[in-house]
Structure 1
Amino acid sequence: MTLEFLSNIELFFSEEITDKIISLRDDEYIHCVKVLRYKSGDKIFVTDGNGKIYHCTITEIHKNFLDAEILIYTVQKIKFPHIHFCIPLLRNKDRFRFAFEKLAELGISSIIIYKAERAVKEKFNLEKYRKIAIETIKQSLQANLPEIKVVQSINELNSMEGNKLIFEQNSEKRFDKNLINTSEANYFIFGPEGGLSENEINLLRDAQKFSLAENRLRTETAVIKAASILTQ
């Protein structure tokens, strides 16, 4: 079964899966049964967020959940398993959410939220953004839920093993995906609205530096453009 065949489906999400049965609960159950009016015997598609999309038949509808028998499944590989997009919390929550959603939509499998010195200091709501990621992969028919991680500083980020890449306007080297080894760990680091602090820049002095455009880009624009170049 190919993804072309899946182009016009409604995709559900469930982590409650056995060898033969998938169950939908809570919002997924309500959307399936109460909103879309699926009934016993109807066919549905469900992803587990771990690379599989299941084609199923609803077998039983209960008061608060339904069971569906797995008929067949298709596997979707992670596009760039070694690429990590590292983005700071932004003052404008809508712009931050937009960038986050687009990363999930473009198939970025690892998103690291770090606390930059010049970024907002509020707590990151991990559960909220996991739900946003689930809705995004369902909408874009993706089978891999991005891994979301929170780190406390650039120093913690810099200690992770792998290549560090900073995107800044003044770099003479324009970003090209052919310039990086995608079989190695690569951390794409984007600064907040006020830019990285002098201390953070010193910590990342060995990082590769790339530009994305001749003009200065907002953080969320830079994030989306880098992801688009990578995935095109």
Structure 2
Amino acid sequence: MLSNTELYYSQNLIDDYRITILGDEAHHIREVMRHEINDNIFVTDGNGGIYNCLIELKSNKKIVCKVLNKYFKENCFSNITFCLPRLKNNDRFEFALEKSIELGITNFIVFESTRTIAKGEKLGRWNKIAISAMKQSLRAWLPRISFEKNLSSIIKYDGKKIFFDQNAMQTLSEFIHKSSSALLTEKHLFLFGPEGGFDEDEFKIAKNELRIRLTENRLRSETAITTVAAIISTYLK
């Protein structure tokens, strides 16, 4: 349906027949793509809805569109959460976040590990990346991104926690094979370590949680994150 088109984002649904587009999205439609009145565009509300629209009004502040048709996409990844560590190299962290979103992951917890060098949250920046990646991959669910200061806070979340540990006996492939039905119905949190991995104190905190390894080889954090996203995306589709 959307393979050769542009997708824009707006949560400003006036009613079942009109959508208002503001801010950067309106600027892109008006100044970059140079759309005119009666041009056809697609808009997502970030909650599964995709709207086939005609532009009715174009001003310096907003674009108003008439809804022709509405489609709904299920979120196959709603029970999957990726817990991403802040990485020393911010570009690599943003790459992992962006590619995971493009592959379909919609829930993220960013956290500071003991070995984390880069500190603090950048939720505004990360949410912009999320919107861009959602549109790029023609998806209809805006990812939810939260931030935690330490690993202990994540342990308190509901759901099965899966830690990636290079020394674990069980592999991701074995885990998916054994947990095929549960992955589709139960909450799972996949936790990735920063450069250098989790330290011993963190593994003590997670002593009752499952540990798995991705491969025999040691991978960069961003490589591991995107690889797991690709594997899960292939399985859940």
Pairwise TM-score range, normalised by the shorter structure: over 0.9
Q: Is 1:103 paired with 2:105? A: no
Q: Where does 1:78-227 land on structure 2 (aligned, <5 Å)?
A: 78-176=75-173, 177-180=176-179, 181-182=182-183, 183-227=185-229
Q: Give the equivalent residue in structure 2 for 1:12.
A: 8
SS at match of 2:197: coil
Deviations 1:120-165 (A, max 9, x none): 2522110111011101111110000111011121111001121110
Counterparts of 2:64 and 2:78 in 1: how far apart (Å)? 32
Give the AA of the match of 1:91.
Answer: K
Moved over 4 A (4+): none
| Structure 1 unaligned spans of 5+ | none
Once the two structures are overlaid, the 10-residue window that deviates more, 73-82 or 98-107, is 73-82
2:48–2:72 contact (8 Å) kept in structure 1: yes
Indicate the RMSD between aligned Cα atoms, in angstroms. 1.1
Counterparts of 2:159 and 2:22 in 1: how far apart (Å)? 39
Once the two structures are overlaid, the 10-residue window that deviates more, 55-64 or 177-186, is 177-186
SS at match of 1:85: strand
SS at match of 2:4: coil
When normalised by structure 1's length, the TM-score is 0.95
SS at match of 1:170: coil
Deviations 1:180-208 (A, max 9, x none): 31211111011110211211100101111
When normalised by structure 2's length, the TM-score is 0.93
**CA positional deviation for 1:174:** 1.2
Counterparts of 1:17 and 1:161 in 2: how far apart (Å)? 32
- Report how many aligned residue pairs link the two structures: 228
